[in-house]
Amino acid sequence: MTKKISAVICTYNRYDLLDKAIESCLAQSMAKKHFEIIIVDNSPACPEIEIFAEKYANNRNVRYLIEPTPGLSNARNVAIRAAKSPIVAYLDDDAIADPDWLNQIVSAFDKFGASTAVVGGRIDPIWEVPRPAWLPDSLLGTLSVVNWGGSARIALPGEWVAGANISFRVSALEEIGGFDVALGRTGNGGSLMSNEESAVIEKLRSRGYELVYAPAARVDHLVDTRRLSPEWIRRRQAWQAVSDFLKAPDSFEGKEKAYWGVVARYMSKSSPRYRTPAGLFVDIEDREQFHEQVRATYCLVTLMLMGSSDVDNFVLDI
């Protein structure tokens, strides 16, 4: 029998967290006959793969797929091909779905009709340690915290959704060839490449499809302690610059002066000792100043990718 929706968890060596994600899907308020759970295990060969595969082998709602080819985008494509439903709902392996998660996703697709190809929901943080004082609200999105408020709607300009809680119409994904395997993360996170979801959403929108934000389709998402450091946030923004540039290099043309201005303004507010690239690596306790440092990091990496050599604006502004 065709299901209404497939809950998909792509995982890489996160067995200490995976159980909670799977159990939150099994505890859905939706009748079990209407949904399936697909686990795509992308971990390197280890005993835990067989243990987890065996653990859920007799559960009729769970299919445990072992995928040796690395990469999140590839794992997501594997799930698309395996799905026995018209909708795939992706949940991170370190997230916990609200009991009504799947019902709310299906309701959003039904309410907004056939033109809806993507539904993204609210993502609340599970702080593994208390939120640092230096972390401003403006950078919570870096940690996949999503809360635009209001009720379900076609996403407004500037509103985005995150891969920890995102759903797609399978036929629409098949129409554009699924996820680009050149984007997204591979393995244990040595690379923080991103934009695989936004690239798909842009392709779908170019074909007339809509993105819906449905806050009631809610999940809780772990904010790992290792991400709660200024170093990780700066690194994440540097990789975001790389991801954005690779996705659409032409969109950056003519913006050199603006980017140099961001870097220059940050440097001008720093002490003379840090009016060099070293100023982008020093830890800062002030939230506003840290936000400016992260923006400057993004802009400087972008300028390097652009090959910009016009430093006159930078020197003059300093």
pLDDT in tens, 163-191: 999 999 999 999 999 998 876 655 555 55
**What is the chain's mean pLDDT, rounded?**
91
Does residue 309 share a domain with residue 199?
Answer: no
Q: Is the pLDDT of residue 194 over 70?
A: no
Query: Which residue range forms the structural domain that includes residue 312?
Result: 230-317
pLDDT: is 238 or 318 the higher one? Answer: 238
Q: Identify the domain boundary among 225, 260, 290.
A: 225
Does residue 239 share a domain with residue 217?
Answer: no
Does residue 87 share a domain with residue 29?
Answer: yes
* C-beta separation of 99 from 27 below 8 A: yes
Can you give the pLDDT at residue 217? 98
Q: Domains in the chain: how many in total?
A: 2
Q: Identify the domain boundary among 190, 225, 260.
A: 225
Structure tokens at 279: 């100023």
CATH number, domain of 169, equals 3.90.550.10
Does residue 266 share a domain with residue 181?
Answer: no
Does residue 104 share a domain with residue 79?
Answer: yes
Question: Which stretches of the chain are DSSP H helices?
Answer: 15-26, 47-55, 72-82, 101-112, 170-175, 196-206, 230-247, 256-269, 287-306, 312-317
Can you give the pLDDT at residue 180? 87
What helix, strand, coil percent values describe the chain, rounded to 5?
45, 20, 35
Three-class DSSP category at 309: coil
Report residue 318's pLDDT band, with 50, 70 and 90 as the boundaries.
very low
Q: Are strands 35-41 and 210-223 parallel, antiparallel or unpaired?
A: unpaired
Q: Is the pLDDT of residue 243 over 90?
A: no
pLDDT in tens, 80-108: 999 999 999 999 999 999 999 999 999 99
Structure tokens at 158: 């500037």
Q: Is the pLDDT of residue 24 over 90?
A: yes
By mean pLDDT, which of 7-16, 137-146, 272-281 is the weakest? 272-281
Does residue 149 share a domain with residue 62?
Answer: yes
Does residue 155 share a domain with residue 13?
Answer: yes
Please compute the mean of the pLDDT values over residues 280-297 and round it to a whole number.
93
Q: Identify the domain boundary among 200, 225, 250.
A: 225
DSSP code of residue 43: P
Does residue 256 share a domain with residue 243?
Answer: yes
Q: Are strands 116-127 and 210-223 parallel, antiparallel or unpaired?
A: parallel
